[in-house]
Amino acid sequence: MLILGIETSCDETAAAVVADGRVVLSNVVASQVALHAPFGGVFPELASRQHIRDITGVVSDALAAAGVAWTDLDALAVTVGPGLSGSLLVGVNAAKGMALATGLPLLGVNHLEGHLYSNWLHDGRRVRGPLDPPADPADDPPFPHLALVISGGHTDLLLVSGHGVVELLGATLDDAAGEAFDKAARMLGLGYPGGPALERAAAGGDPQAFRLPVASTASPFDFSFSGLKTAVLRLVQAADQAGLPPRTADIAASFQEAVARALVQRVRAALRSTAARALLVAGGVSANEVLRRQLRQAVEVPVLCPPLVLCTDNAAMIAAAAYWRHGARLRDGGPVAEDHGLALDVDASLSFSERGAATGGAGPG
């Protein structure tokens, strides 16, 4: 089953063709980093305008790279939220036009659920990053597993018991880890995007130079990073008041270590409380090698991380999530869902299920 995925939730226009929810036949991403760099962050109106310029070419490139025609596809999938409303509307409306022109079913996908399925993807040879353990091409992540989604605006800890059966164990109470990375990088003058810049700076620093705080929360599975961000600000202000440049590398390394410590604490608590057989890490921040390494050293279950190209926003994960959610019903010729198709609308604040409540869904078998 071939699904064309489309992703425009923020500042990257992406399209991909995925076979059977696993094999990436193409994965095309048009980045807007250079466009937004002068503003130190994403400028929403500029993002949506650039999506309009890029979407047609990106989809055409994805089909060409996969070597498929419209008539080869079984369905279209598009991100409906969460994200920037203007950006989401470009992708959803473009997908509606394509569905109307081709007669293909159109599937709406939660962007966060897409990140979960980035760990199910490979290129047919299961090529993974240098820090990832080798895996057999036939192996899929085991159920139940924990999933740690650490993207720009989200830090969520989930128990995944099956396709579409997701229980939210914990989430951030304020800033997400990715937001904290970006804001700390801005305070240190490291530029945009902040996460990769701070990781590069931290490579030359001492992670024990400053003992930065990890917040305590009422739930052992929740996160809080606003205090950590404030602690970085205080270090920068103290250096400025002393007439000295901040110890950028040491602050960056200490900040990164504190984020890792917070993630490890919550993950270990969740593993003690569940029967999870693995930990899946996903989202843009999962590209951070120090975080990957510390999680692997701290837990006894297998830790799976996507290849770096699939950590940040992409459309392959959207196509994969659509397959696992709706593949069986597509094959049977039945309705995919009442709200899927040309009536799709965006939901900029879409989230996982409410805390402690699992969402139901049918996978492909």
Residues 133-163 have pLDDT tens digits of 444 445 689 999 999 999 878 999 999 999 9
Give the pLDDT band (50/70/90) at residue 11. Answer: very high
Among residues 191, 194, 189, the alpha carbon closest in space to that of 179 is found at 194
pLDDT at residue 284 in the model: 92
Q: Name the pLDDT band for 192 (thresholds 50, 70, 90).
A: confident
Separation of first and last alpha carbons in the chain: 14
pLDDT tens for each residue of 65-88: 999 999 999 999 999 999 999 999
Could you list the beta-strand ranges (E) of the chain. 2-7, 12-19, 23-31, 75-81, 106-110, 145-150, 155-162, 165-171, 279-282, 303-304
Average pLDDT, integer, range 215-234: 95
pLDDT value for 193: 87
* Two tokens, residue 252: 């960056």
Cα distance between residue 262 and residue 287, in whole Å: 17
Homologous superfamily of domain range 2-127+310-332 = ATPase, nucleotide binding domain (3.30.420.40)
CA gap 179, 153 in Å, rounded: 6
DSSP label of 125: S
Rounded CA-CA distance 182/177 in Å is 9
CATH 3.30.420.40 location in the chain: 2-127+310-332, 145-306
Distance (Å, whole) CA 213 – CA 195: 19
Classified by CATH at the fold level, domain 145-306 comes out as Nucleotidyltransferase; domain 5 (3.30.420)
pTM of the model: 0.91
Q: What are phi and psi of 29, to 5 degrees?
A: -130, 125
Nearest to 111 by CA among 320, 336, 338: 320
User: What residues are paired with 108 via a beta bridge?
Assistant: 78
Banded pLDDT at 329 (limits 50, 70, 90): confident
pLDDT at 358 over 50: no
Picking from 5-14, 20-29, 203-212, 352-361, which range would have the lowest pLDDT averaged per residue? 352-361
